[in-house]
């Protein structure tokens, strides 16, 4: 089983749609959770952290379910500029409390 698993997609949605991505992780001792965004042939960039109580940043909402070892990202009112690959990232704290494990990513294309 992969440490961090994501549906690879691609998700093709029209502008204005709501889309949700899911991620599961295998290490129950994982400490912290994040979503990164990676544009085509570019470097990953932090989108948002994921907190146990759930958190929102504009059109983006992240949820964490520690019991099910499941993370989600919801994007409302999709924009063309949201087209990217979304990486689920889990800090399992194995190496010196700083061990980030990346999912393979979910590709999103938002169409006019």
- What is the binding site for another protein (CB under 8 A)? 2, 4, 8, 31-34, 41-46, 49, 87, 89, 91, 93, 95-105
Give the residue with the Cβ less far from another protein, 17 or 93.
93
Strand order in the sheet with 4-6: 4-6, 19-25, 70-75, 60-65, 55-57
Task: Report yes or no: 86 and 36 within 8 Å, Cβ to Cβ.
Answer: yes
CB of 16 to another protein, least distance (A): 29
CB of 10 to another protein, least distance (A): 13
Strands 32-38 vs 19-25: parallel, antiparallel or unpaired: unpaired
Give the residue with the Cβ less far from another protein, 75 or 89.
89
Give the residue with the Cβ less far from another protein, 42 or 111.
42
Task: Report yes or no: 93 and 31 within 8 Å, Cβ to Cβ.
Answer: yes
Give the residue with the Cβ less far from another protein, 1 or 41.
41
**Cα–Cα dist 90/40, whole Å:** 22
CB of 66 to another protein, least distance (A): 15
């Amino acid at each position: 089983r992969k440490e961090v698993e994501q549906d690879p997609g691609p998700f093709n949605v029209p502008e204005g749609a709501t889309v949700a991505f899911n991620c599961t992780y295998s290490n129950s001792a994982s400490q912290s959770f994040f979503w990164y965004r990676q544009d085509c042939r570019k470097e990953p960039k932090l989108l948002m952290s994921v907190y146990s109580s759930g958190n929102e940043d504009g059109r983006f909402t992240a949820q964490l379910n520690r019991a099910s070892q499941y993370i989600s990202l919801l994007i409302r009112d999709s924009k063309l500029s949201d087209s990217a690959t979304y990486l689920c990232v889990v800090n399992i704290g194995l190496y010196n409390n700083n061990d980030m494990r990346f999912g393979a990513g979910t590709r999103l294309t938002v169409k006019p």
